[in-house]
């Protein structure tokens, strides 16, 4: 699929690169869900994790201070691509600070 077709508005049935369901994965589904058919594996690791408490997801911190996202389904919904893409600038800002950028 070309990059141009990936960027076009697509229907639920033709999500192309915006929705991937990997039922062959040994962890599928990695979160409890009532709708395995709508479980999106595109963001197996959530890019918003780096935003900490500002990610907008359903998370908690463990007693040891580790962010636990096991109750969060934001990266696994059919609308995950749009929601996460809208926040990638925030993630890039954090990455830039890590390189010493201003």
Contact 80, 74 (CB under 8 A): yes
Token digits of residue 77: 């919904």
pLDDT tens per residue across span 25-60: 898 888 888 888 888 888 888 999 999 999 999 999
Give the Cα separation of 92 and 89 in Å (integer): 5
pLDDT tens per residue across span 5-18: 444 455 555 556 88
The number of folded domains in the chain is 1
pLDDT tens per residue across span 64-82: 999 999 888 888 888 889 8
The answer to whether residue 101 scores a pLDDT higher than 70 is no
Is 75 among the domain residues? yes
Give the Cα separation of 79 and 12 in Å (integer): 9
Is 31 among the domain residues? yes
Contact 69, 31 (CB under 8 A): no
Q: What's the CA dihedral at 39, 40, 41, 46 to 10 degrees? A: -110
Is 5 among the domain residues? no
Section 76-91 average pLDDT:
90
* Bigger pLDDT: 2 vs 48: 48
Is 14 among the domain residues? no
Is 78 among the domain residues? yes
Token digits of residue 65: 């201070």
Is 77 among the domain residues? yes
Is 42 among the domain residues? yes
Domain that holds residue 62: 19-98
Is 88 among the domain residues? yes
């Amino acid at each position: 699929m070309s990059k141009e077709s990936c960027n076009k508005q697509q229907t639920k049935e033709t999500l192309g690169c915006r929705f991937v369901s990997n039922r062959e994965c040994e962890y599928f589904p990695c979160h409890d869900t009532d709708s395995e058919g709508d479980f999106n594996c595109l963001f197996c690791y959530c890019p918003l994790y780096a935003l900490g408490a500002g990610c907008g997801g359903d998370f908690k911190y463990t007693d040891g201070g580790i962010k636990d996202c096991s109750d969060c389904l934001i990266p696994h919904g059919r609308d995950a691509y749009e929601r996460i893409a809208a926040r990638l600038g925030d993630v890039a800002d954090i990455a830039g600070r890590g390189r010493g950028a201003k």
